[in-house]
Structure 1
Amino acid sequence: MYQYVLAIHIIFVVCWMAGLFYVVRLFIYHREAQDKPEPARTILSEQFEVMEKKLWWIIATPSMYLVLAAGITMVFINKPLLQMPWLHIKLLFVAGLIVYHFICQYKMKQMANGVFKWTSTQLRLWNELATLILFAIVFLVVLKNTLNWIFGVIGIILFSLILMSAVKVYKYFREKK
């Protein structure tokens, strides 16, 4: 039974992450649409709002709840998991991802109300945070207790710097056009 629940957990992690990655990409396009002249601005904004809401309420949010349900079920089936230190750290990252999820939901509501507080560059960096959390979770699950925490932390920091640099380089070339 555990393997079936694990498979469901993995499938919906993929769906949840796809939803989180894509919704922020839509936020970027939605924000950039605000720089367009009318009527393009209104047409694009209305379309992005529809796309964001459908993605959010049909894919991302249900997937999050199914991930959590499957994860809780796995712990219920295999109670010794709760004794493993790597799982405690993973759960902290999952909690961070849940907070990320609800911040995205708040951003979506703000944009639907015409409030655009973040630039497209800030949204691109925000999108990379979900990537970092995903990397941390996957490495924790795969390497478990063999993970050397010092190298793991250094690796995540270096990866963060690389991602942020990539966003800045992309911005440079995009603005150069």
Structure 2
Amino acid sequence: QAEIVAVDNEQSALDELGERLTEQRLDTRVTLSCANMTDLPFPPESFDCIWSEGSAYIMGVEQALTQWRKLLTNRGYMVVSDLIWLTDNPSQEAVAFWEGEYPDMQTIEKRLGQMRQAGFEVIDHFTLREQAWHDYYQPLKARVAEVKASMPNSNAIADIEREIAIYERYLGEFGYHMFVLRKGA
């Protein structure tokens, strides 16, 4: 019976979601909002739960925790995923790559401290299985192999190949981690 608000800053993504929701007869339960996550147009204490997978890093996890906390009801929940270091001594090549892609990447302990500092109780946290990475990168790698011959000078293809190489060499030094938080009093 939940009322859901789906937020994205790309209207075409929301349009596609709207079509799928209509097909599945869920469109009356989900409101679509085209907005920037750094300036959400909702009053304080509007939500019982905020769920953000793979996006809080765009505005900075600490900033997201601070700004979004105000939108939660008393003792409301936030679920956030973040790319984190799984080791204190990652390989230099992995560090160099992720510094260019995600300079604020932290260890689990550092993120947990930031979350507590922002006024959240950590209910649970866990690293996603490596299979999730394989499920993403194996089809991507196959698609790159298909199109590379027709786009030999593509910077986008080269960037994807670099990312795939880091995944293949260093997965286990980094991973996606889910954090289930509750707003403290």
TM-score range, shorter chain: under 0.3
Higher strand share: 2
Q: Which has the higher contact order (CA 8 A, sep 6+)?
A: 1
- Larger helix proportion of the pair: 1
Normalised to the residue count of structure 1, the TM-score between the two structures is: 0.28
TM-score by length of 2: 0.27
